[in-house]
Amino acid sequence: MENNLNSYFDKDSGSYKLLVRLQEVRKYGLLIAFVAVCLALSLTTPRFLTIQNLMIIVTQVSINALLAFGVTFVIITGGIDLSIGSMVAVTGVVAATFAHPDEYPVIVPVAVGLLAGLLFGAFNGFVVTRSKVPPFIVTLGTMTIGRGLALILSKGRPVSNLSDSFNFIGGGKILGIPTLIITLIVTFIACTVVLRKTVLGRYMYAVGGNEQAARASGIELSTVKMIVYTLCGGLAALAGILLTSRITTGQPNAGAGFELDAIAAAIIGGTSTSGGTGTMTGTLLGALLIGVISNGLDLLNVTSYYQQVVMGIIIIGAVVLDSVNQIKN
Amino acid sequence: MENNLNSYFDKDSGSYKLLVRLQEVRKYGLLIAFVAVCLALSLTTPRFLTIQNLMIIVTQVSINALLAFGVTFVIITGGIDLSIGSMVAVTGVVAATFAHPDEYPVIVPVAVGLLAGLLFGAFNGFVVTRSKVPPFIVTLGTMTIGRGLALILSKGRPVSNLSDSFNFIGGGKILGIPTLIITLIVTFIACTVVLRKTVLGRYMYAVGGNEQAARASGIELSTVKMIVYTLCGGLAALAGILLTSRITTGQPNAGAGFELDAIAAAIIGGTSTSGGTGTMTGTLLGALLIGVISNGLDLLNVTSYYQQVVMGIIIIGAVVLDSVNQIKN
Amino acid sequence: NQSTTSETSKNGDGKKLVIGATMLSMQNEFIVNVHDEMAKKAEADGIDLITVDAERSALKQVEQVESFIAQHVDAIIMNPCEVEASSPAVAKALAAKIPIINVNSETSTKPSAFVGSDDVESARIAMKFIAEKLGGKGTIVMMHGYMGQAAQIKREQGAREILKQYPNIKLIAHQTAEWDRAKAMSLMENWIQSYGSQINAVFAQNDEMGLGAAKALADAGLKDKVVVVSIDAIPDALQAVQKGTLDATVFQNAQQQGSKAIETAEKIIKGQPYEKETLIPFQLVTKANLSQFMK
Amino acid sequence: MNSNSDYILQVSGLTKTFSGVKALDQVQLAVRKGEVHALMGENGAGKSTLMKILIGLLPADSGEIIFEGAELTAAHVRDVMKKGISMIHQEMLVVPELTVAQNIFLGRETKGKLFSWLDDRTLTKQAAMLLREMDIQIDPSIKMKYLSVAQMQMVEIAKAISNNAKVIIMDEPTSALSEKEVATLFRLIKDLTSKGVAIIYISHKMEEITALADTITVLRDGKYIGTRPASELDMDTLITMMVGRKIESLFPESTTQRGNEILSVKQLTRHGQFTNINFAVHEGEVLGIGGLMGAGRTEVARTIFGLDQPDSGQMYIRGEQADIRSPQDAIRRGIGYVSEDRKGFGFIPRLSVRENITLASLPAHAKGGLVRAASESAVANRMMADLRIKAASPEQFVTFLSGGNQQKVVIGKVLLSSPSIIILDEPTRGIDIGAKAEIYKLIHQLKEAGKAVILISSELPELLGLSDRIVVMAKGKQTAELSAQEASQEVVMHYAMQV
Ligand SMILES: Nc1ncnc2c1ncn2[C@@H]1O[C@H](COP(=O)(O)OP(=O)(O)OP(=O)(O)O)[C@@H](O)[C@H]1O
Ligand SMILES: Nc1ncnc2c1ncn2[C@@H]1O[C@H](COP(=O)(O)OP(=O)(O)OP(=O)(O)O)[C@@H](O)[C@H]1O
Ligand SMILES: [Mg+2]
Ligand SMILES: [Mg+2]
């Protein structure tokens, strides 16, 4: 018995290593799919594997990835946020309104935009925790509300004529690297740390994994959920501000349908809609996969009708490949 | 002790009645919300409560309701189908292609359209049951694929010039009642019967309520899921054919975003995204609620931007009202 | 019948005329402009204008018209989503003896009156400009709107008509950016990767996409070498033409479309003679004639 | 061995591997008609896995199953059940949204043909008849989710029996039952065996094995240890076969004197669940709470722990009135609670053993919100060693542990939140004899360390063996408070049945 137990604890034992490897394999499955797609593209078009093109892909992916990070937090706790696309629009319009040249310093539109996103997210969290309404409905409601707000605030017209310093945020380069990529990397690291290294992150998994057990362990469910939705709002605001800056306009209809892309990235990355599992690395990989496919199809000049078909097939295919590698149950 | 248990058994005891009533209250909550909205509208606009307007509402609701019925089946088994909007487009285009005047009898486009929907749905079911890919991703993929297919089949152009008999299917009236309303009623009854009166319906609840328990009871999970997705495809095809007939055109971009409305109707109607619960009556009520609000806001001439805000608030509000009435766990 | 009784009642006791309007999309800047002009004109003439947003769905539009009919409005103005799919709405209104005026674009079923312009023409104008600018020779790319929508189909048709006349202009790629500026930017970035300096001109089916393409080109330092032309002449696009980032756009007169639509509706209701078809011409906007379009 | 015809079911050479870990290794089993064949072994020995393979829920890697002389290997659940094997599952497999009758006949409605009509009225009638025959008083038309755990378990039993099976597998059928239902079940088993039905019976409760078993097969760590007639096995030999070592006396003698009062409840009431509950616990004392199923003991515990709010009455901690509104309040005030429903309220299935163990005390291992991994791992490893938690590693998901080890993880979690009052609700439910002894020892240690322990248990020997005082509840009322001397099985049962 004792010996037996000790052998289980022996970190050098074959079975232990195997187990750890099997738990990790999920990521590898996706990684394999990702590498396969990249390889296929490198072989079919020489333009794919150039530093410049890879940089462009990451730039294009970054907005979706930021949103996907936010929604990963939410999904891990067992929730969902459909309003992220609308938050992108609201925060973008709000930021743009304060970003005209020679009005306010650039910090103002950024701060106001972020605040708007945090408030919007907090409102989602408030309704989800206070009412017994499923998050799907709450955020479907606020998605509609948010879209309406963005249109009201902008009177249905793009808010343009933004200051150069504001347009730098999402459109500039620092040492040759696009600001979007820098923001993406910094945010990715921050989100990973929150999820893996903090008490809050642990609580997210616990709440999503078994709400009752989390509660019985003294975790305040509503606090965790509030924080998570607020965080998601904040990240959506960041995405909204960057998008607005990149296209140098605050658009009331920006971000429509972004929620699906972001959720797709998270789920392709291994986050389960039933909550309790998911990693930021997976989500990033999911977002990159979508970005690479879309870039590749453009490079190969696939007709737009067929692009959609191919995109759909590859997404399903990648996740199939992923789950074949996965341990059963 | 004996007495205690027997009193549970005693169908006339107060506590038993209370318990049964509490089980039923969920529906009433939504019904109350629905009646409240209708009442408010009747008081604010005289045009609301006219036979003609009510008929219009039901007609307008019918396509969404058909889709919502289909997706209710799927959600009850614990799945989801995001591809219904695309199926509407594919089946509509397919049906329209065979519906030109003097080519085939009207049964041909209907049959071919339905077949296309059933096949599409079966494909969804096949991938969901054969791979370990979550239904969300599978149907997100087929949503994109379906949209591409619809564009390919129609070469990106609306398919028009349809026969009068085909246009009658979704645009005609029988004894003064729009065919859409008749189809809605018939389908509603059929779906209710399937769900409540057949073994299949029972298995849907079982699979969604506790997959392991269903499996341990010898229920073939994959068969039930296959049927459910196929059924959903069939209903989407019905919706697609009716829509095509109503607008006398097969449109490759028809049905975009319909999936959210349909899912919303189901969830507002009390179907839980985690599976195992839901009724067709609830879904119908959910669809009607959305329809009534949208009609009412038009009648009240609420500006479209504010309509979205109000719509969002009412949807959340209705479900809050519903869940306040609900018993806690 | 209903419309005549309401007509007498309003003529009798001075009750306000009611016009129902269903617009393609209130998230489209040009459509919002048309609508605002309609609202302005209606207000000035003391008319009640009920506006609903079809959100680009023909089905919704048909339903909205049905609803207008049930409400016995005096006239309906429809900004159609689709040529064919919005047609049942026209037929229904006419059957209910309510005048229906199409604004901005057409349906296959002839309405009581039409006010607007032909989208095919706008693309012809834009593409012709490109062809002339390139001297009838070069390679170009085209950005589509949302595939399958009327405006996308017609603008593609117009562009291709002109391209046929210039066999030395090669369309090397065409792809949808769904009317969206951000998507257009990404698409252009990818095209630059693919074709680099091969591209001589970009035709975008609306200004939003044109602006996105121009931004991507500017970021890649290619703007001077590539001609970018789009359609709609939204304020941002006019600004861009002034700055030279956009070479040309095609002006569609929202002000005239909006006010003429209301005017025609009024005439029909009051039984006055009216134009069955009011065609408002497109105009090419370049740096040269920009001043007359800037407010 | 005997000729094949004696055996209705024969298993040989069965092997099953889960992600590299051998759960079953060349296991054999032979069951005779009309016998109760007990399958024994520690938590994680592979008993449930073997049974799941038999019933067709899991595929075996290799091996052979012969049922009534015919090969049954790799058959589908439905076919296995049709052939005459049914199973009561260890983890309750019920569909909460369906009624009792619908659950009982799930998969067998009108022969299970998908497109045939349902006749719920007949199903309900049949279920009512079945339940009456079995002397189980549950309304068959009520939804499953409104039943208590015990009632659900009885429904599961009814379901398995109603299949007219020739072999019924019972995987810890009594883990949620109290004495009275256990008696009902035993009577049913006697009935069935007399009709020639074979029962494969899995349980960690030695009394039950002694009372029922004709033959006993023992597994250890996925390996077949041996099969003996029950009459030839004495308890010590059996335990040695299972555990591979000897277990000292189950209930250690206590020498501690009880100290100051820590917790007392006065007139505690929650409408519809319990009324006017009064008791106090002291440092260094184990207070037992006895009663039948549905007595409301769990509800009292939940209320003290802040999971539910009382309608009236007070709680005092060290003499001060305590207003406990949430589990956080309770934990802050030094109360710990191990729920009877470890799947529902105990652990997070997809978190590792380490993460589960430290979940309630995580802030103690964090600085500025950041978890200090080294400190966390250290306490987790220590607790795993202390409680002898058997897992492949601290990083294994708890969902993959056996029931007993899951329970230890939950106890470990509660202990790490350093409570001075510990409520243990059915702490040994589904736990093997070795682990049970360890948990008893642990309760003893807690008491010696001056903690107050509230022990809710339906196992009378355990309740009597460990408690210093026993409060008895019946139908939500407190019917007695007995000292250790006054209490005996008869006395406790007497008060538990009192109206
Ligand atoms: N799905 C699974 N994946 C991985 N390992 C598993 C799985 N199911 C069981 N195991 C492992 O197989 C071994 C046997 O488990 P099993 O449930 O059969 O034990 P048991 O004898 O029934 O224990 P208990 O008495 O606690 O119920 C254990 O080590 C367990 O961790
Ligand atoms: N069929 C039923 N319908 C509704 N409520 C019930 C039913 N059966 C029991 N209850 C309620 O649930 C409570 C019993 O719960 P539970 O069986 O968990 O009590 P317990 O004393 O903790 O028993 P256990 O010994 O199982 O732990 C009772 O107070 C009773 O009101
Ligand atoms: Mg077991
Ligand atoms: Mg209990």
Of D19 and D53, the one with more pLDDT: D53
Find out whether C73 and C50 touch, Cβ atoms under 8 Å: yes
In a domain, B59, yes or no: yes
CB interface of D with A, residues 115-174, below 8 Å: none
Q: At how many degrees (to 10) do helices B221-246 and B84-97 cross? A: 60
Find out whether D145 and D100 touch, Cβ atoms under 8 Å: no
Total number of residues shown for chain D: 499
β D261-270/D421-425 pair status: unpaired
Q: Which residue has the tokens 């019905």?
A: B238
Chains touching A (at least 3 CB pairs under 8 A) are B, C, D
Find out whether A76 and A196 touch, Cβ atoms under 8 Å: no
Residue type at position D444: H
Ligand 2 probe mutation, D94, D99, D148, D270, most atoms within 8 A of CB: D148
Q: With contacts defined as CB-CB under 8 Å, which chain A residues touch C181?
A: 247, 249, 251
Chain A contact present for D257, CB below 8 A: no
> Could you report the predicted ipTM of this complex, rounded to two decimals?
0.86
D62 pLDDT tier (thresholds 50, 70, 90): very high
Of all residues in chain A, the one with the smallest CA distance to C171 is: A301
Domain around A227? 49-328
* CATH number for position A163: 1.10.3470
Of all residues in chain D, the one with the smallest CA distance to A217 is: D360
Cα of A110 to ligand 4 centre, how many Å?
Answer: 54
Chain B contact present for A324, CB below 8 A: yes
Cβ count within 10 A of residue C13: 7
Please tell me what DSSP assigns to residue B269. Answer: T
Considering only A17-26, B270-279, C156-165, D118-127, which range has the smallest mean pLDDT?
A17-26
Total number of residues shown for chain C: 295
> D403 in ligand 1 pocket by Cβ < 6 Å?
yes
pLDDT confidence of residue D109:
85
| Domains and their CATH numbers in chain D | 7-243 (3.40.50.300), 261-497 (3.40.50.300)
Mean pLDDT of A293-318: 87
CB contact under 8 A, C59 and B247: yes
pLDDT confidence of residue C10:
46
Mean pLDDT of D95-112: 89
pLDDT at B318 over 80: no
Share of chain D above pLDDT 70, in %: 98
In a domain, B82, yes or no: yes
B325 pLDDT tier (thresholds 50, 70, 90): low
pLDDT at A57 over 80: yes
Please tell me what DSSP assigns to residue D4. Answer: G
Residues B214-223: tens digit of each pLDDT: 999 999 999 9
pLDDT confidence of residue A244:
96
A6 pLDDT tier (thresholds 50, 70, 90): very low
pLDDT at A61 over 90: yes
In a domain, B27, yes or no: no
pLDDT confidence of residue A8:
38
D400 pLDDT tier (thresholds 50, 70, 90): confident
pLDDT confidence of residue B19:
53
Of B278 and A5, the one with more pLDDT: B278
Could you give the CA distance from residue D222 to residue D61 in angstroms, rounded to a whole number? Answer: 13
Cα of A206 to ligand 3 centre, how many Å?
Answer: 25
Could you give the CA distance from residue C89 to residue C108 in angstroms, rounded to a whole number? Answer: 11
Helix (H) or strand (E) holding D37: strand D36-40
Integer angstrom CA distances of residue B22 from B16, B25, B27, D98: 10, 5, 10, 15
pLDDT confidence of residue B137:
86
Find out whether D47 and D24 touch, Cβ atoms under 8 Å: no
Q: What is the dihedral of CA A246, A249, A250, A253, to 10 degrees?
A: -90
Cα of D443 to ligand 1 centre, how many Å?
Answer: 26
Q: With contacts defined as CB-CB under 8 Å, which chain B residues touch C53?
A: 304, 307
D498 pLDDT tier (thresholds 50, 70, 90): confident
pLDDT confidence of residue D148:
80
In a domain, A77, yes or no: yes
Cβ count within 10 A of residue D59: 10
In a domain, B293, yes or no: yes
To the nearest whole number, what is the mean pLDDT of chain A? 88
State both tokens at B269.
Answer: 């109607």
β D62-67/D223-229 pair status: unpaired
Residues D182-210: tens digit of each pLDDT: 899 999 999 999 999 999 999 988 889 99
CB interface of B with A, residues 137-156, below 8 Å: 137-138, 140-149, 151-152, 156
Within 13 Å, how many C-alpha atoms sit on residue A182's CB side?
12
Residues C71-122: tens digit of each pLDDT: 899 999 999 998 888 999 999 999 999 999 999 988 889 999 999 988 899 9
Residues D264-300: tens digit of each pLDDT: 999 999 998 999 999 999 999 999 999 887 789 999 9
pLDDT at D250 over 80: no
Quote the number of domains for chain B.
Answer: 1
The model carries a pTM of: 0.88
Q: Cα-flanking dihedrals φ and ψ of residue C280, to 5°? A: -105, 115
Chain B contact present for D235, CB below 8 A: no
Question: Comparing C-alpha atoms, which of A202, B232, A91, B213 is closest to residue D107?
Answer: B213
Residues D403-434: tens digit of each pLDDT: 788 999 999 999 999 999 999 999 988 778 88
Q: Could you tell me the sign of the dihedral formed by the alpha carbons of B250, B252, B256, B258, in that order? A: positive
Q: At how many degrees (to 10) do helices A221-246 and C181-195 cross? A: 60
State both tokens at B43.
Answer: 């008081």
pLDDT confidence of residue A248:
92
pLDDT confidence of residue C6:
39
In a domain, B288, yes or no: yes
Could you give the CA distance from residue A267 to residue C85 in angstroms, rounded to a whole number? Answer: 36
Please tell me what DSSP assigns to residue C57. Answer: -
Q: With contacts defined as CB-CB under 8 Å, which chain B residues touch C29?
A: none
pLDDT at A29 over 90: no
Question: Comparing C-alpha atoms, which of B121, B67, B306 is closest to residue B229?
Answer: B121
- DSSP H helices, A77-106, are 84-97
Of all residues in chain C, the one with the smallest CA distance to B153 is: C148
Question: Comparing C-alpha atoms, which of A81, A86, A133 is closest to residue B318?
Answer: A133
Q: With contacts defined as CB-CB under 8 Å, which chain B residues touch D142?
A: 8, 19
- Closest-CA distance, A250 to chain B, in angstroms, reads 17
Considering only A140-154, A280-294, D89-103, D232-246, which range has the smallest mean pLDDT?
D232-246
CA diameter of chain B:
77
pLDDT confidence of residue A324:
61
Find out whether D263 and D304 touch, Cβ atoms under 8 Å: yes
- Closest-CA distance, B191 to chain D, in angstroms, reads 13
pLDDT confidence of residue D67:
92
Of all residues in chain B, the one with the smallest CA distance to C149 is: B253
pLDDT confidence of residue A26:
53
Ligand 1 probe mutation, D400, D407, D432, most atoms within 8 A of CB: D400
Residue ranges near ligand 4 (ion) with Cβ within 5 Å: D 298, 340
Share of chain D above pLDDT 90, in %: 62
As beta bridge partners, residue D201 has D38, D170
In a domain, A24, yes or no: no
To the nearest whole number, what is the mean pLDDT of chain D? 90
Question: Comparing C-alpha atoms, which of B311, B55, B307, B48 is closest to residue C71?
Answer: B48
> D296 in ligand 2 pocket by Cβ < 6 Å?
yes
Mean pLDDT of B110-127: 97
Residues C3-62: tens digit of each pLDDT: 343 343 344 446 789 999 999 988 888 899 999 999 999 999 999 999 999 988 899 999
pLDDT confidence of residue A131:
85
Mean pLDDT of A86-112: 96
As beta bridge partners, residue C248 has C229
Chain A contact present for B267, CB below 8 A: yes
